[in-house]
Structure 1
Amino acid sequence: MTRTNRRNLLKLGLAAAAVPALPGLLRAAPKPRGFAPAASGWRSFELRSQVRLAAQGATQVWLPVPAVETEYQRSLDHSFTGNASEAAFVTDPASGARMLHARFDPSTAEPTVELVSRIQTRNRVVDWNRTSDVQEDPAVLEAALKGSSLKPLDGVVLERAREITQGAASDREKIAAIYAWIVTNCHRNLDTPGCGPGDIQATLTSAGLGGKCADLNGLFVGLARASGVPARDIYGLRVAPSAFGYKQFGANSPDVTGAQHCRAEVWLAGHGWVAMDPADVLKVMRAETDRWIKDPADPLVAPVNAALFGNWEGNWLAYNSASDVTLPGADGALPFLMYPQGLNAQGRLNELDAKAFSYAMTAQEV
């Protein structure tokens, strides 16, 4: 190599060293280092859900609105813009799900609407060593013991619940048995579209104990209810990376269009509503590495398995805990509302095909 070439190479090296690493581009993702969410302060996020459609006659759009106000989430503001002829925030009176409903005239060349939600979240942590006289509305607990269209509480669901919880002396023991049974016997099916249909009877039979979060956490909720323990699904969206390096637990870019995830919670006397997420344990086992991990005691899985029985990380927001949701202006009901919904002269739009729909969702911490 000549002296001139060496000088040029040195200049290139120094120039490259002076360029800052771009987040998410040159910096390698952190490796998992355990998983132990702890009590934390509030984090603020802005979520933008934008729909831009081709004209197809009279059109309607329904966008889920984060409407869960709890000790782990609170809303700051919700607003919308667009060219809808009518648009308003509405609440399904039966399920309690909140949504933005927009109508567009047939003459609208490019129906467009954007929903902007500003919310705060924080880690959710249970202290099993402390109890309190926490109370809940009896009507809320009663609703969390009922079946739904895709959560029948009789037949195979009831039979399996009785088998799993046999010998359990308390609600907490029942829930521990159900959680452990799902982690040990079920699996994440990578071929299941979206978050899964949430048909728990099918999950126990024709689906061979496989599915995604709506199926697996939905099964957890159904088995809990069939065992007499109030439980409910919580439908939401990941909005930030996991602080613990697990790529499957976070939204790893500002684009969160496909980052929907539902969780679960159960009511336990002395603790109130307690976080649960066996589906994410199974997600780590199946998808965190190229190897399908079958043992919950695996070092990568064990801390997740322990922590998600009672805790979750605040990089996720909740839309609602509703089932059998009625969309105003549409026939029939949805088993759950977690994705944008649309209807035009050609029929219902496919919420699982964001590009064809078409919609996009972005999130940023503010």
Structure 2
Amino acid sequence: MDRRSFLRLGAAAPVCLGASGAAVLARAQTQSEDALLATQGWRVYEVTTELSLPPAAAPASAWLPMTAARLGDYQRTLSSRWEAADAQARTALAPGYDTRMLALSWPGPAAAQSAELKAKLVEMVALRDRKTDLGLAPSAQAPREPAATLREYLAPTRLLPTGGIVKTTAQQITAGASDDMSKARALYEWVIDHTCREASVRGCGVGDVARMLRTGGVMNGKCVDINGLFVALARASGIPARDAFGVRVDTSLYGFKALGKSGDISKAQHCRAEFYAAGYGWIPVDPADVRKVALEEAPGGLPMSDWKVRSARAMLFGAWEMNWVAYNHGHDVALPGSASPPVPFLMYPNGETVAGTLDSVDPAAFGYRITSRRMA
């Protein structure tokens, strides 16, 4: 299927389920492809998630994260489609945070399944780099969020509390800061200075912020831990903040080898963060990637004083290179049809089979593969 045919498919009727069980979802396009690509800086990627479970896994269910439909002026999902033979398949929206997913179910029984349980989700996403000019004065024309939305991004979650040791730590860090921007800057610098990326942590980490703070000293983890710590401290300081859960889809055009991935991106999930400031809107940050550059950019790591680490540190307060696509901002996500408790976040495929819960951070054992390619 060529690219334009694919995008025309993306503007078609919403769901069609045939006798073969193949299904197609289309999300309405808000802009034509040509109009979108004519504006400066947009790049289009095809992101494909493929799932294959053995026949004996049935009855089985799976939940695949879907890319956010529209975020600011830096992400547009142009179209989505799926194929899911012999499965009951539908899109679902988890309560709160606008967390979208493709929900799949193979009812079984296992003896009735003669072939592998397969599904494929293909999404076309347009991205362009994001930067907030913090050298400008706050503007009345800046994007504004409704008060209810800001209250949602001040609330605690199960792993991101805002009281107790989190509140006390936030107050200590921001003492003397007079406004939200200076408080957020103090939190960003503190998180970078007091955390360390730990390669042995599985996946992207868990994000148990209170446990991290109770360890004292250097707090090890990965992006969900480090950026989640920033988000919890910001909320405890009265600053609306949120995680952004997604996956890297391309190499870095800025020269950071550690901050990009293309082709097979099954293990390229990455969580980012942002905070809200009146007169600016949502401001992107990523202290976890500063620590990733320090650990992984060169063999043996780089000192924090290295020019490349300092460059990442300066850039990632106010900017994101969009070689990464966002799924959602969700926490404590209830998976529809699952009897299990809500998952802390939805950034990986999740699955349950007759044998139990699948390991989301082990693509091979689970049976999924995610790939990306940049369209010409």
Q: Tell me, yes or no, whether TM beats 0.5.
A: yes
Q: Give distance in 2, aligned partners of 1:98 and 1:313.
A: 23
Partner of 2:314: 306
Residue deviations 1:90-148 (CA, integer Å, cap 9, x gap): 11123421000011132233110000011101000111133322321111100010000
Worse overlay, 211-220 or 94-103: 94-103
**Displacement, 1:205?**
2.3
CA RMSD in angstroms, aligned pairs only: 1.4
Conservation of the 8 A alpha-carbon contact between 1:83 and 1:104: no
Partner of 1:10: none
Partner of 1:30: none
Alignment counterpart, residue 153 of structure 1, candidates 152, 158, 162 = 162
Residue deviations 1:6-42 (CA, integer Å, cap 9, x gap): xxxxxxxxxxxxxxxxxxxxxxxxxxxxxxxxx9511
Partner of 2:249: 239
Return closer, same or farther for 1:43/1:233 CA change in 2, 3 Å cut-off: same
Partner of 2:360: 351
Residue deviations 1:63-112 (CA, integer Å, cap 9, x gap): 00001512110110011002133101111123421000011132233110
Partner of 2:102: 100
Describe the SS at the equivalent of 1:325: coil
Q: Amino acid of the residue matched to residue 135 of structure 2? A: N
Partner of 2:25: none
Partner of 1:65: 66
Q: Amino acid of the residue matched to residue 312 of structure 1? A: W
Q: Give distance in 1, aligned partners of 2:334 and 2:303.
A: 39
Alignment counterpart, residue 219 of structure 1, candidates 208, 226, 229 = 229
1:184 maps to 2:193: yes
Partner of 2:175: 166
Q: Give distance in 2, aligned partners of 1:84 and 1:144.
A: 39
Partner of 2:139: 132
Q: Give distance in 2, aligned partners of 1:112 and 1:338.
A: 20
Superposition pairs for residues 332-347 of structure 1, below 5 Å? Answer: 332-347=341-356
Bigger Rg over Cα = 1
Q: TM-score of the superposition, structure 1-length normalised?
A: 0.87
Q: Give distance in 2, aligned partners of 1:49 and 1:206.
A: 37
Partner of 2:53: 53
Residue deviations 1:258-283 (CA, integer Å, cap 9, x gap): 00001000001111000000000011
Describe the SS at the equivalent of 2:264: coil
Give the number of equivalent residue pairs.
326
Partner of 2:129: 123
Unaligned 5+ segments in structure 1 are 1-38
Superposition pairs for residues 254-265 of structure 1, below 5 Å? Answer: 254-265=263-274
Partner of 1:113: 119
Return closer, same or farther for 1:187/1:196 CA change in 2, 3 Å cut-off: same
**Displacement, 1:60?**
0.5
Residue deviations 1:270-312 (CA, integer Å, cap 9, x gap): 11000000000011111111233342x3212111100000001
Q: Give distance in 2, aligned partners of 1:58 and 1:342.
A: 11
Superposition pairs for residues 218-297 of structure 1, below 5 Å? Answer: 218-251=228-261, 253-295=262-304, 297=305
Conservation of the 8 A alpha-carbon contact between 1:68 and 1:320: no
Q: TM-score of the superposition, structure 2-length normalised?
A: 0.84
Describe the SS at the equivalent of 2:307: coil
**Displacement, 1:202?**
1.6
Runs of 4+ in 1 over 4 A off after TM superposition: none
Describe the SS at the equivalent of 1:242: coil
Identical aligned residues as a percent: 40
Describe the SS at the equivalent of 2:70: coil
